[in-house]
Chains A and B, each alone.
Chain A
Amino acid sequence: MRHYIKVEMLRMLRNKRYIIFVVAFPVGFYLLYSNLWGSESDQATGLRGSVLLMVSMAAYGALAAAMMSTAVPWSQERHSGWLRQLQITPLPGRAIILTKLASSMLLVLPSLLLVGLAAVLTQHVSLPPLQWAELILAMWAGTIPFAALGLAIGSLLPPDTAQPVAMIGMFGLALLGGLWFPESMMPAAMKSIAHVTPSYDYARVGWQIAAGEAPHAADAAGILAWGVALVALALVAYRRATVRA
């Protein structure tokens, strides 16, 4: 299974779409935005722009990586016959989805770490070591719901539908989570939708840790609940997609 994870990573790192959306986009936009607003400070969180944007862009990159590395590749594998190829080897069925989840989690790390690195190098962001560790760990674990959502989409939809649905889901969640512009700028209706999305809770936990606070219970509970629900959905969908007639 270790070799399987290695192979999964290798193929995504060779995928141009992954590199562009997941690595180049968040780092590029961080550099752009932090130059514009890096020194302003945010009233809601009290964070400096360079730190706030670091969390936002890292969150966007991680969310995109989690969904891009799962939904479309997995849907394609099911439809192209690659899944069958694996089903007729001694590889146990559960190993496939566990590997997908594990590889997706690993593929989230480049965007998290590179945005952080860009923040340190260009904006001289500095946090105490323990706070860095907490922030990265929380933002890493917090991508589980998005990877699960991607896997569920890949299990339920054929590739040509999975592609737009994953794209809309990814940008929609990023937008509603307040990753592209602050939630305070949203119209009221959009705000109330935003508040129930997992990406909103995910970003808020990141900002809270970056501000040196403990994550608020409501936000942590929100992402946890989404995590449980989406992992359950992913498992049910996977079972349905691989059932033997």
Chain B
Amino acid sequence: MNAIAFTGVTKRYGDVLAVDGLDLEIPAGATVALLGPNGAGKSTSINMLLGLLRPSSGEIRVFGSPPETAVADGEIGAMLQEGALIPELTVAETVDFVRRLYPRPLPLEEILRLADLTELARRRADRLSGGQTQRVRFALAIAGGPRLLLLDEPTAAMDVESRRTFWDNMRAYAAGGRTILFATHYLEEADENADRVVVIARGRVVADGSAAEIKAGVAGQAVSFLLGDQPVAGLDALPGTTGVELQGGRVTLRTTDLDATVAALYRKTTLDVRDLQVHGADLEDAFLALTKEA
């Protein structure tokens, strides 16, 4: 069964189209990264999955039910971008309060252990650091033992060490066959922690697959050189070239066939080519190529 199904979902704020005909299915048990630049529609999609926003058109199903029903049944847990705690309550009181709102919660000790909070259990929320607060918010997201966990840029306020621990904790929670969807604009996070990466830009899915497939699916390599005042025209017609960018006198050619492009550059043009550099493809390049404004 699909944990998540978006069918032709559109969300419009006035004149702005935040989500533009999104179709996406995520089977139960998968860990999926929703990767995209700021403003791509990641948070809007997650808020619609939680019933906090309603789609302007289209349909969303969570385990076959409308989002509101899934939330009321305790099927979804989420860590949203913002969310302060009640300052006067301790970590254990806060977590215990939220877990009791769910029909099938995890035991308190297990939640605290999964979120690395056992030692902070008796600390008041107003005495926690930013990273510790994030851990409590993760604890609140898993408190009800939800089958679907949504994380909206969960590591935004964390240092490198906390990030690593956070993803370990997430994997421990996912291991029970649970479905995870996390939004991020960190490519490494998507690469390392998801078995599927959905790239969205301007409210649409622009790529969907494993991190390796996404890297392979775009123009693999690039070559750049100093062009100076020479004309840029005609470079896009070189064999293998899929894109031309000019920035401060340096031109970058994206190519699927590096050898052919470079050979043609020397043989078929009369340009004075200086400081030639070849760039390998990584997910960062793939991501930029995919999400670049059309």
Contact = CB atoms under 8 A, between A and B. Distances in A.
Interface string B75-119: 011101011111111000100011011110000000000000000
B103 A85 contact: no
A90 B83 contact: no
Interface of A: 3-4, 7, 10-12, 14-15, 77, 80-82, 84-92, 244-245
Contacts, number: 72
Given A90-B102, A91-B101, A92-B72, A85 B140 contact: yes
B271 interface: no
A14 B144 CA distance: 27
B74 interface: yes
A90 B73 contact: yes
A91 B80 CA distance: 17
A80 B126 CA distance: 13
B128 interface: no
B88 A88 contact: no
Find the residue from A4, A80, A90 having the highest chain B CB count within 10 A. Answer: A90
Given A84-B52, A84-B80, A89 B98 contact: yes
A89 B79 CA distance: 11
B83 A80 contact: yes
A245 B101 CA distance: 24
B70 to A, nearest CB: 10
B51 A244 contact: yes
Nearest to B83: A81
Interface of B: 50-54, 71-74, 76-78, 80, 82-89, 93, 97-98, 100-103, 137, 140, 144
Contacts of A12: 88
A88 B50 CA distance: 6
Interface of B is mostly: loop
A89 B82 contact: no
B50 to A, nearest CB: 5
Contacts of A10: 88-89, 93
25 contacts: A3-B97, A7-B86, A7-B97, A11-B86, A11-B87, A12-B88, A14-B88, A15-B88, A81-B80, A82-B85, A85-B83, A85-B98, A85-B137, A88-B77, A88-B80, A89-B74, A89-B98, A89-B102, A90-B71, A90-B103, A91-B101, A92-B72, A244-B51, A244-B53, A245-B54
A90 B101 CA distance: 6
Contacts of A87: 50, 52
Contacts of B71: 88-90
Contacts of A86: 101
Nearest to A76: B84
A140 B282 CA distance: 68
